[in-house]
Amino acid sequence: MKLLSTYLLLIGLLTAVSFQGFTQQHATQKDEIYYVVHVSGDITSLKDDRKVVPGMELQSSEKLKFVGVGAKAVVLSRKGGRMLLQAPEGKEKATEFELMVNEVFVPKKVHLRMSTRQAPNSLVNNLKDYFGEERFAIIGNELTVKLDSFSYPLNEEKVMVLYYKQPEGAEKNIQIPYETDNSLVFHKDSLYNDMDPGYTTGNSIYYFYKPQKEARKLAEFQPVFIEENKLLEELKLMHDFLSEKKLAEGSLLYEEMLSFVTDVYGKVDLNLFDQWTKKHGLYTGDE
């Protein structure tokens, strides 16, 4: 009888330890931490009524309130990598909803080939290939594109024109400034004045021959001008998180940052992105 009691006691202890281990593992999974690197729109954590902003941490069991169509956040985690918090299927057009973090995240994967890489100091001879057909990201308020003078000579008779529709439906045709080295200069203020390009549609570039009033459409895309300090803050957060957690370094870390920009903002000029990341100490290019 004493031997049986000892045996039952041992089984009980083993069961308790196993259950405790399962509980701890389950709690760890449930409370995984997500590090916020980007926010679009209005998102609030109902845990402590805080606005979700880059740099803060979220628990997977935390409930969030999304306000406005398109509100989303990009987060990083040690286990899941980079993920997007956004409206789940069926709620894409909802103006307001509340869900747990683990109910709204989806893994983000992109193809780096989306972005444009020209050979260093090369000239652009196909604007459709350069800009693509969807979003094209411009860091800051200005982009200079050096064009091949054989494909696109620019002078007083031959110019480039930007066409787009304003939110109320009015159409705009604006000549794009160019320089003597046959470079186009896309400056947000000169092309859009005080308007947010994100609210315009049909953005297209035409090659216009003035004497004959002939116009040839070359490209159609959606320009996205990124506020430079905001992007720098986001990429520094991502850089520090991935480095400190030893999740990525060198060229892999660079690819993660490029993937993030392409996903969130759109296709980029890779040569310009290389230069910009090196300028701000985010990538040396030697690894």
What CA–CA distance (Å, rounded) separates 267 from 259? 10
Q: What is the pLDDT of residue 27?
A: 37
pLDDT of residue 81: 82
pLDDT of residue 38: 95
Distances from the Cα of 39 to the Cαs of 30, 59, 106, 108, in angstroms? 23, 16, 15, 15
Q: Give me the amino acid identity at 262.
A: T
Pairing of strands 96-100, 63-77: antiparallel
pLDDT of residue 207: 98
Nearest to 260 by CA among 219, 285, 231, 228: 231
Q: Please tell me whether the overall predicted TM-score, pTM, comes out greater than 0.85 for this model.
A: no
What pLDDT is recorded for position 121?
A: 57
Burial 160-193 (b: 16+ CB within 10 A, else e): bbbbbeeeeeeebeeebbbeeebebebbbeebbe
pLDDT category at 181 given cuts 50, 70, 90 is: very high
CA–CA gap between residue 167 and residue 23 (Å, rounded): 54
Lowest mean pLDDT among 98-107, 213-222, 254-263: 98-107
Rounded Cα distance between 283 and 232, Å, is 12
Residue pLDDT, tens place only, 87-122? 777 776 777 888 888 887 766 544 434 455 555 557
Model confidence pLDDT, tens digit, residues 34-63: 999 999 989 999 988 999 999 999 998 899
Q: What is the pLDDT, as a whole number, of residue 14?
A: 40
Residue from 249, 286, 255 nearest 273 by CA: 255
pLDDT number for residue 198: 92
pLDDT for 87 equals 77
